[in-house]
Chain A
Amino acid sequence: DSGVTQTPKHLITATGQRVTLRCSPRSGDLSVYWYQQSLDQGLQFLIQYYNGEERAKGNILERFSAQQFPDLHSELNLSSLELGDSALYFCASSEGQLTYEQYFGPGTRLTVT
């Protein structure tokens, strides 16, 4: 158990819908990262937040957005969902802004039908 929690574990929704994925980092960790794992794209970095502020952005679509709240939990919002958004979404946390070790949550499996 990494100490990072993600909810829900599974999510099935229809095209065009909007969903919110939630992540709680390990106690004391200030950075949260979001990654997407799909069969065709592999594991890709989406976005990083540090202590409530956006710090780095990767291959995140404009339909996707994220935020980190004062209690340090983070939410990833996916809107206007397409079939190709079906993937496993991981959250990871680390102690600082630039820290070697990232601890991954169990992931949320999103299926868009």
Chain B
Amino acid sequence: AQSVTQLGSHVSVSEGALVLLRCNYSSSVPPYLFWYVQYPNQGLQLLLKYTSAATLVKGINGFEAEFKKSETSFHLTKPSAHMSDAAEYFCAVSDKGGKLIFGQGTELSVKP
């Protein structure tokens, strides 16, 4: 069975600092991996996806993630945080591009 673990339910960074949100997955087959962002009172928006092409994936709003098979990780990074990045971030895995299995989410706070 597939699963996703997001390390840290809350992460706080200062504006301009590096953002690092951690995600580890478990999958018996080559996974498809996703990061979604949820702003307050809104639906989920796809930030980026890994579908077995390049291991370094660039997404919207300056975010990127690196797929590391040896570490079963897909951590999300952004070099410089903006106040507008404050939101909840979800890592998800899919085995065939169908249903998504989500992690518990990480709430990102950005301090001025």
B44–A98 touching, CB < 8 Å: no
- From A2, which residue of chain B is reached at the shortest CB distance? B43
With both chains docked as a complex, state the minimum distance between the C-beta of A20 and any C-beta of chain B, in angstroms. 19
The verdict on A106 contacting B43 (CB below 8 Å), with A42-B102, A43-B90, A101-B49 known, is: yes
User: Is A105 interfacial (CB-CB < 8 Å)?
Assistant: yes
- Determine the distance from Cα of A56 to Cα of B104 in the docked complex, in whole angstroms: 22
List residues of chain A with CB within 8 A of the CB of B102. Answer: 42-44
Interface string of A32-44 (1 = CB under 8 A from B): 0101000000111
User: Is A45 interfacial (CB-CB < 8 Å)?
Assistant: yes
List residues of chain B with CB within 8 A of the CB of A33. Answer: 99-100
List residues of chain B with CB within 8 A of the CB of A97. Answer: 98
List residues of chain B with CB within 8 A of the CB of A2. Answer: 43, 45
Interface string of A64-100 (1 = CB under 8 A from B): 0000000000000000000000000010100001111
User: Is B83 interfacial (CB-CB < 8 Å)?
Assistant: no
List residues of chain B with CB within 8 A of the CB of A24. Answer: none
List residues of chain B with CB within 8 A of the CB of A58. Answer: 99
Can you sample 17 A-B contacts with CB below 8 Å?
Answer: A2-B45, A33-B100, A35-B100, A42-B103, A43-B102, A43-B105, A45-B99, A45-B101, A56-B99, A58-B99, A90-B44, A97-B98, A99-B97, A102-B100, A104-B36, A104-B44, A106-B42
